[in-house]
């Protein structure tokens, strides 16, 4: 039987891909997409679902308890993605991150709790950054779900706060909570401040790409649609109270990624400008996703790389107008023009 799924942050990068994924792959389900439309929220990413009766957009902040009470009356479960998500911004304004990612999560959990048993599962979409960092020189080390949480940036701390709070609501109030901790996502509709769209737009426009430090930091990359699939798998079959790592089994240094991107944009290494490193830049993230594979049968296919990266670069090349409207601020008028009464 179909359900009505509340997706918070559904106008963001992963959220909009997830809303699209649900609407396209789960025909019996409906989505209530709740988003406050910060600078990172872009409803144009879901323009083709504007009039879909299975997609309801609610312009609201996760801190607005009254509004949440009204929305909770018509949903069956929650996928919580709304967050401040950019590490560099968190270094300059930690308080906003703590407010949204911890207090906002508490507000949402409380709204679910007020509904008692009428709401089923609550999935908190966390991140691998809650584990802190791994050394570069020992590739045998991976984050597992039992790795101690040791976040390093204000962003990671704020996500860890939300992560632990979600678990505490399971433990204390018996709420049906699952947590997902995923590595770096790439794909369409990512805000142009993030590395992949930024490192595609700049070379195309004849500019250099600003690479932090020597580029030796390593990240694990997963296509966003695999992440969406994994979140739905946890929603359907995850065990209450459990956390699930999600990863691409696809570690790349920032330098390797940068070289691939500029080459796909027809430029050589002269397009790289090394800039001062990010403060407290974590060296390496690497995920052991054995648990979700073993227990829920979810697995990313390694063959998705580099084809999925190439397709993503092509998407940004083909959708320059989407990026241009974000960079000019025009995208922020979409809600007003199409939704606001």
326 vs 245: CA distance, rounded Å: 31
- Binding interface with ligand NAD (CB under 6 A): 8-9, 11-15, 35-38, 40-41, 61-63, 81-85, 100, 104, 125, 127, 159, 182, 184-185, 191
Contact (CB, 8 A) for 232 and 168: no
Choose the catalytic residue: 35, 61, 84, 129. 129
Question: Catalytic residue at 269?
Answer: no
For residue 178, how far is the Cα from the chain centroid?
A: 16
Q: Shortest distance, CB of residue 64 to ligand NAD, whole angstroms?
A: 8
Contact (CB, 8 A) for 218 and 180: no
Choose the catalytic residue: 29, 35, 84, 128. 128
Residue labelled with tokens 């790439």: 186
Which residue, 36 or 323, is less far from ligand NAD as judged by CB? Answer: 36
Which residue, 158 or 264, is less far from ligand NAD as judged by CB? Answer: 158
Question: Catalytic residue at 316?
Answer: no
281 vs 92: CA distance, rounded Å: 14
Which residue, 170 or 221, is less far from ligand NAD as judged by CB? Answer: 221
State the number of CA atoms in the 13 A half-sphere of 55 facing the CB. 22
306 Cβ partners below 8 Å, 6+ apart?
A: 260
Which residue, 128 or 271, is less far from ligand NAD as judged by CB? Answer: 128
234 vs 295: CA distance, rounded Å: 10
334 vs 322: CA distance, rounded Å: 12
Choose the catalytic residue: 29, 84, 133, 155. 155
Which residue in the shown chain puts its C-beta closest to ligand NAD? 12
Q: Shortest distance, CB of residue 122 to ligand NAD, whole angstroms?
A: 14
Q: Shortest distance, CB of residue 270 to ligand NAD, whole angstroms?
A: 29
Indicate the SS3 state at residue 179. strand
Question: Catalytic residue at 35?
Answer: no
Q: Shortest distance, CB of residue 173 to ligand NAD, whole angstroms?
A: 22
Residues acting as catalytic residues: 128-129, 155
């Amino acid at each position: 039987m179909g359900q009505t799924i509340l997706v918070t942050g559904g106008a963001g990068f992963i959220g909009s891909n997830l809303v699209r994924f649900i609407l396209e792959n789960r025909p019996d389900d409906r989505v209530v997409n709740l988003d406050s439309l910060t600078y990172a929220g872009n409803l144009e990413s879901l323009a083709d679902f504007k009039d879909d009766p299975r997609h309801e957009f609610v312009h609201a902040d996760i801190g607005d308890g009254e509004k949440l009470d009204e929305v909770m009356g018509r949903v069956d479960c929650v996928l919580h993605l709304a967050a401040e998500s950019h590490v560099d911004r968190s270094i300059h304004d930690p308080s906003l991150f703590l407010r949204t990612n911890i207090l906002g999560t508490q507000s949402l959990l409380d709204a679910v709790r007020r509904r008692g048993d009428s709401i089923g599962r609550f999935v908190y979409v966390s991140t691998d950054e809650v584990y802190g960092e791994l050394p570069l020189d020992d590739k045998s080390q991976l984050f597992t779900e039992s790795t101690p949480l040791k976040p390093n940036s204000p962003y990671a701390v704020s996500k860890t706060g939300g992560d632990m709070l979600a678990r505490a609501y399971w433990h204390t109030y018996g709420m049906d909570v699952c947590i997902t901790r995923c590595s770096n996502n790439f794909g369409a509709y990512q805000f142009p401040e993030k590395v992949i769209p930024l490192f595609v737009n700049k070379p195309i426009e004849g500019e250099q790409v600003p690479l932090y430090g020597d580029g030796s930091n390593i990240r694990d990359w997963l296509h966003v649609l695999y992440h969406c699939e994994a979140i739905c798998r946890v929603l359907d079959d995850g065990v209450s109270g459990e956390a699930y790592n999600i990863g691409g089994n696809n570690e790349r240094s920032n330098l390797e990624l940068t070289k691939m991107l500029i080459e796909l944009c027809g430029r050589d290494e002269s397009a790289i400008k090394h800039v001062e490193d990010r403060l407290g830049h974590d060296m390496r993230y690497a995920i052991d996703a054995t648990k979700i594979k073993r227990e829920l049968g979810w697995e990313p296919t390694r063959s998705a790389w580099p084809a999925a990266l190439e397709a993503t670069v092509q998407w940004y090349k083909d959708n320059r107008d989407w990026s241009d409207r974000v960079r000019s601020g025009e995208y922020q008028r979409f809600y007003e023009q199409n939704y606001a009464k």
